[in-house]
Amino acid sequence: MFNFKKPRHKLSEENKDGLRLSDLKPGEKGRVLEIGGSEQFRLRLIEMGLTRDTEVCVDKYAPLLDPLELIVKGYHLSLRGIDAQKISVERSN
């Protein structure tokens, strides 16, 4: 019913096989490299402060394991795993 192993979203060549936000475990931090997905989705996230090079911390996952909770720019934001998978990051701690 809940399948996170859907085909990976298209990102540019260099980040194709890289780490995704959804790969981070609770407590781990990452730096945003690129956001994939639809233009509207990308823009909404950028507006919410997930700009390039922003540090995000995965705080936890919801009781049913989806969505996840991030700390970004000092506030708490929630995204679904399937959307977090569109965000490529590099580990930063």
Partner 1 sequence: MNFNIALAGNPNCGKTTIFNILTGARQHVGNWPGVTVERKSGHYTYSDYKFNLIDLPGTYSLTAFSAEETVVRQYLIDDVPEVVVNIVDASNLERNLFLTTQLIELGRPLVIVLNMMDMAEEKGLKIDTETLSTLLGAPVVSVVGRTGEGVDILKEKILRVATEQSKKSRPININYPRDIETELQKLSALMEVSNDKDHLDRWRSVKLLESDKDTRDEMRLRSNGSEILDQTNISTERIETLFKDTGRAIISYARYGFIQGALRECVEENLKLSTDYSRQIDRVLTHRWLGLPIFGFFMWLMFKITYDLGSIPMDWVDAGVVMLMNFFSGILPSSMFASLLVDGVIGGVGAIAVFLPNIFILFFIIAILEDSGYMARVAFIMDRIMHNIGLHGKAFIPMIMGFGCNVPAIMGTRILESRRDRILTVLINPFMSCSARLPVYILVGGAFFPEQAATVIFSMYVLGIVVAITSGKLFSRTILKGMSKPFVLELPPYQRPTGRSLLLHTWERGYLFIQKMGTVILVGSVLVWALGYFPREVELETDYQTIETQIKHKYDDQSIELSEKYIRSLEQSEREYHSEMVPFLQSKNYLSLKAQHDSLGYLIHTTEKLEVYANKQAELGEIMSKRWIGRLGKVIQPLIEPLGFTWREGVALITGFVAKEIVVSTYGVLFGVGEDVDEASQGVIQGLRSSGMTPLVALGFMIFTLLYTPCLATVAAIKRETGTWAYTFFSIGYSLGLAYSLAFAVNYFGRMFNWLS
Contact residues for partner 1, defined by CB under 8 A: 1-2, 37-49, 51-52, 59-67, 69, 73-80, 83
Least separation in angstroms between residue 38's CB and partner 1 is 8
Q: Which is nearer to partner 1, 23 or 67 (CB)?
A: 67
Least separation in angstroms between residue 47's CB and partner 1 is 4
Q: Which is nearer to partner 1, 23 or 37 (CB)?
A: 37
Least separation in angstroms between residue 78's CB and partner 1 is 4
Q: Which two tokens stand for residue 91?
A: 């580990």
What is the spatial distance between Cα 21 and Cα 53, in angstroms, rounded to a whole number?
A: 13
CB 31 within 8 A of CB 54: yes
Q: Which is nearer to partner 1, 79 or 89 (CB)?
A: 79
- Give the start-end residues of each E strand in 1-93: 29-35, 55-61, 68-72, 75-79, 87-91
